[in-house]
Amino acid sequence: MVSRGIVLGTLIVYFFDKIALGWQIQVAIMIIPALIYGFLFAKQDFPVTERVANGISTGEMYKSLANPLFIFMIVCMFGTAITELFTGQWIDVLLRNVTDNALLVLTVSTGVMVIGRAFAGPIVEKLAPQGVLLMSSILATIGLYLLGNTSGNMIFAGALVFGAGVCYFWPTMLGFVAEYLPKTGAVGLNLMGGAGMFAVSIYMMFMGGVYDKYIAEKLPPGADMKLYNSAEATEEMKIALNEANKAAGPEIINTTLIIPVILIAAFIGLNLYMRKEDSWPCKK
């Protein structure tokens, strides 16, 4: 649902920009789907959680959060969330000076996610959640490499591969915990989601400073960033700043590339561990 919303949202914003619709109106339009969602949810009756239905006590649920496998998955969630959400949210900023259609790069990658998730069942059944996570890490690494080291139409090829890679990250991470660590209950799933969003927010703050550093390194020595970004900047300054941004964006992507590489190693280990566990898929 979220992926489909991003696809539609990026296309709507793209066309709104083309007709020069003010940002105030664009933001105000978001009120419409918010009100619709509020109305639809207000009429729903929600059942008890699976943990409650299975008679697992609250104390047992909190005790299960100390399971080393759960802690490992939390740490991996940091990486999968950053790889998917940081890149998705920053694509327009990082690649706008490399391609004229940076926003459409996000549309392409998210569109692949929509299609991929529609056929998730047979893939998860064949590879198991841990196999899907390993495959996703490999594809995400290749996709990020293409996004950070190509230009022109090849960027869209990178977006396709990247979208296929991150397509199953978030739902499979949650699905793994739900299937193999069900005693962690709703708290476990919420912690997984919260860990992912927390990691992305921290990483974005950190990489914002790194991005500015990369830009400054590519400007003439002693250049004043504020002056280069001001209305008083000369044409020569504007050209230099544009070139600096053009070079800095892919460098941020290449810096982030190390995360899915680490995930490949982590999920290889997870696959080996799951094979050794004679009791799986007996839930712990």
What residue ranges do the domains of the chain occupy? 1-46, 56-276
Question: In whole angstroms, what is the distance from residue 77 CA to residue 216 CA?
Answer: 32
Cβ neighbors of 244 (< 8 A, separation 6 or more) are: 214, 215, 216, 218, 219
Contact 33, 136 (CB under 8 A): no
Averaged pLDDT, 146-150:
88
Residue 245 has pLDDT above 50, yes or no: yes
| Helical residues (DSSP H) of the chain, grouped into ranges | 2-18, 23-29, 31-42, 50-53, 58-64, 68-81, 87-95, 102-118, 120-149, 154-166, 169-180, 185-218, 225-228, 235-256, 258-276
CA 120 vs CA 167, 248, 260: distances in Å: 9, 35, 21
Residues in the chain: 284
39-76 tens-digit pLDDT: 988 888 877 777 777 788 888 999 999 999 999 999 99
What CATH number is given for 56-276 in this structure?
1.20.1250.20
- Could you report how far apart the first and last alpha carbons of the chain are, in Å? 30
pLDDT band, residue 282 (cuts 50/70/90): very low
- Amino acid at the residue 250: P
Is pLDDT larger for residue 114 or for residue 237? 237
pTM of the model: 0.78
Encoding tokens for residue 139? 């594809």
Encoding tokens for residue 56? 């697992």
Percent of the chain predicted with pLDDT > 90? 38
